[in-house]
Structure 1
């Protein structure tokens, strides 16, 4: 297990059980209580509050480990923003994906102005450590103003029809938002989505482009990676 992953030594449950609960919560539109019920169905008694603490403690670390294993992002980035209701107030979720649909970063902000776009551009450059060749956005004027200031040498294409890849990437988030009956705080939304966008896509290969056999093989590989970064693999080897 990566040294950056929080220690599991003080926990009564094994790494295999912890990682399974975290996987269930971030992979499927389930509540903590539903994860508790599913584990009870397997004969494992764990409270929903314990599942919540595990997701807070390990979710982001697992997501970071998965991101480090991804290939370098493409040089064409698609940026988009959607509104989300948080605590009954309208906020904005900014998202960037590469040409393959891999999520580069997300940021929850209060506004859609130039300052918000500039903040997101700078965060993207820091997070990826790269400068793109092309940035594709919708017609929001804030993008153009921030682009000229932060990355003027990068080509900027502003056209709604070109940005379907970024817009489609919001669908899993919308699904979770409905299941959770909206987010309660900006910080909570940012924490959840940061872990969610690192874990969920790992288990969502482009299935429509694969044969059934190729899909099963790809998922087996991805579960092996998951078991390795969560420490569950060591548990399996120890009991083999």
Structure 2
């Protein structure tokens, strides 16, 4: 039966898919679908808003609209289904994609990008532990610490990398040769100062190109969004390339994300 009542509304433009709301919804009413938080069914949401204060993007709010009545029996069934799914063994990997056989990830709830997982690194040749020369040509590297008018930015090609990228990407130092590297975390850092600083860099330092190196986890898409927002704010058509790094180290071009900020 439908009635006018309070219920959670999710703003997809603001949501970055981090999943922080999931463990704070006791009814299991929210899931991550295609990188966005979604309400599974109106009847699973009690409208009390326990998940609201845990969204770093402010994408959740309580509204009043016509919706199915809250159903405690449906909630109980949903929670049992979730419990069984989490306890079920992972399906056996078939011959298919070799990349899919390298790692087995078992979710433990919460943010998809923070879920504990055991990875199986590929075997390395014996000589792979030989010393590698650093290609770092400037300091500092944390975006929040780099002045917008730093001399090394003038006419540079810039890599804006997620904090986790250097750990996951085997050839990170090879890729950064001759480039300026800026490290940031889109999940825990405030994006607005980053947008303003990057826009200043692009506008005043003659930056030639920006390459975003971000992880495959949903919350890391925020890095692409803030770089592209900065490029739009700078207004000088600095090209932005978006690369996604799998936790197993593979790299692929990403689709151009929509602007969130």
TM-score (structure 1 length as normaliser): 0.26
More helix by share: 1
Richer in strand (by share): 2
What TM-score do the two structures reach when normalised by structure 2? 0.24
- Greater relative contact order, per chain length (Cα 8 Å cut-off, separation 6+): 1
